[in-house]
A = this chain, B = another copy of it.
């Protein structure tokens, strides 16, 4: 007989905000490049918390906390995930590269690699998530070390940005934990 864990049992296994912010986090960051939807931003905070991602880089016109719509989907994760705001995505990329972070756009390009093919030398890395409609702008794409994609097996050619980020982020974390 399978039994769902009770709320208290789950909480006992979780980090506190204080410990999470000081913990050794997975070397995978997200750069949010002109994401439009407040709900997507909130969901990305929630996913980044679950994956213990390094940091969210909120860039351009992507909305940043505090906003009640972000809170609604983040469910408290704005307090447990380190984040910073950059007016320019390109400035954020320059700064990350100075920290030896590899920058990968999550995009279908003429030279993308599957997120299932990440190797140890790709870390630390930052996934650049583009606008819901237009994706990652060409000038930012030109500054990336490469592009990663999620295999698309069906009729349509994209995923919701929060879903795509979840798949890529957890796959990157799994790859890191496997090869570190």
Contacts and interface: CB of A to CB of B under 8 A. Distances in A.
Given A105-B2, A111-B2, A138-B4, A160 B162 contact: yes
Which of A49, A80, A167: most chain B Cβ within 10 A? A167
Contact of A43 (B76, B163, B171): B163
Interface stretch (A15-23, A62-70, A91-99, A119-127): A15-23
Copies in the complex: 2
A160 B46 contact: yes
Interface of A: 1-5, 9-11, 13-17, 20, 26, 43, 46-52, 73, 75-77, 80-81, 105, 107-112, 116, 135-136, 138, 141-142, 144, 146-147, 150, 152-160, 162-164, 166-167, 170-171, 173-174
B155 A46 contact: no
Nearest to A174: B116
B156 A109 contact: no
Contact of A80 (B4, B146, B154): B154
